[in-house]
Structure 1
């Protein structure tokens, strides 16, 4: 009996010694490791990022107003012709000329209200300046997916209102990614319209920036990674000019600053991005595997298994948890690492010596990948966003979508 207890104590002692060695290994600060020396093995070089672009009323009203301004002369001319053509032929010429001289019609879009089947648009219509009896017209603007890159926009009169437009109105081209849905968003805070996209994200782009390089090249990469806002100003039109090109072909640059949108990246898309970062070789004997990226308690959390080897077989030595606060910098999503906790068995301690490398790597992989598609002005999590219908675990980017 005593021999059995003695053997048990020996086993427990060896386990305790091994645990202390592991804790000491991870807890002892090592020399700073440059992220350029970390080896990353992506599972896939390109992944599809599921995202929703929310457009606000302040964005949509000028776009629709431009289209209405184009439609009014055509609609009024058709109405005059319809009336004049019913007159005797001898009277048609002077009657048409008089009508066109006296009438100077205008229409102002005063309200856009999202509802389940589209946008309820109120248009204030006047036949001439200072018209004492202007008419309020109501029409329903509807959206449908025509194909993977085109949205069909149509309109129809509401509540017996005169038919200013009835039928196809225009198209919206989406020149990047794959369009999969578009719908109005009632009861969604600032958002009036949501465009669902599948945007390709090139994770391999960051690999070129994680290879050893000269100091000059590293500085150039750093400058490319964090473009100053002034350099982004030329792209400030984005959704207005590119995505809604058919609406805004005649808009000048003075309207660009009015464009506002919100981009929602759901939690499952974040997980997909994290999954495909792949394995990170920390040293000759250690690697980070099973990387997961999630949103918890108003911050982003990255977890990974720290793997080693024993007699040639992979062994899970510890679990690392890194807390991240997302922010916007130079039009890009920037991930700022706050702290890293390492858990060995039941012992948890801080291990922040790799924070800088983790931050640089994540920004190379995720921040730069998103930077080509979104011009970010601010970042929040779903519960803090003006878009009330966004999920509480989604990452919300405020700004404009760069679909060029």
Structure 2
């Protein structure tokens, strides 16, 4: 597929507030960090890998060569040890969750300090109300996660967990909840050509439509000039140029049969962490904040898209394959997606023109007695109470 990117700049710069991308799993979730971002004061000298990359929440270890332990273990047994994460961007930290070693030996952290830094040089310990370092409660067994809130919240680029007491060895798996602070560059936009056709629903998201655009670059410049324009289409039917801007990117992933070029604001895709899966033909995002269906739908709208429409087995299998890569995300495999029960019909967007295919439902579903909304599970779509607190999938 040919990749075309337009980079457009403007003399005028827009004053935009920072975007907060929140998650319960900032270390190992969908918007988490790479292995190299996990470091430690020391690593246990053992034939099995005990390095900090194994310190991810719910990581079970690996028995294949080279073997990896289910957890990080320090090599020194004292109160100076720590495991550390370096975030991609400045991050608001609201909580910390820890576990002990996955199996074999009773090893876990009973209590710990939390330290934070912006430059990885000067470190500040989270303090209690009486002015002394706050001692966080840890684990009492190997595998039960224990979550502690960090109040007041802190902002950090680097975070350390410093074990103070432990069972046998300082050993742990962990994750961090909070919000990444994503900054946008005013006056600069990149638009990426997508091999897609626009959904009919995009008509409801039109920002402007002009018949006089001279080129695709001019069309992009017009979209760039509208702060709410997130994508645009350029076509020239019968030789007459037409440019249409939209405040969303709801698209249908299939080869375009017309001369229309569809460009999506790449900066916004990157800001909100959208990813593309060519095999499943989806542009998707996983919202790792538990909320009811109405709030989940609003979150997707705030990111200029919608709850994912799971309308094919290929798309469902693709999403299941994606989620299965994350140990933290398979713990509660229930995700709000598009769909409601209205007037005796289960449909994607609340009308009778897009009825959900019966082949997509998991066994025993749908059942309006369980609720009038739709979630994705490992076995298919399922009905669920709209007030249930779940993660969600946004995208197209």
Higher relative contact order (CA 8 A, sep 6+): 1
TM-score over 0.5 (shorter chain): no
More helix by share: 1
Q: TM-score, normalised by structure 1?
A: 0.27
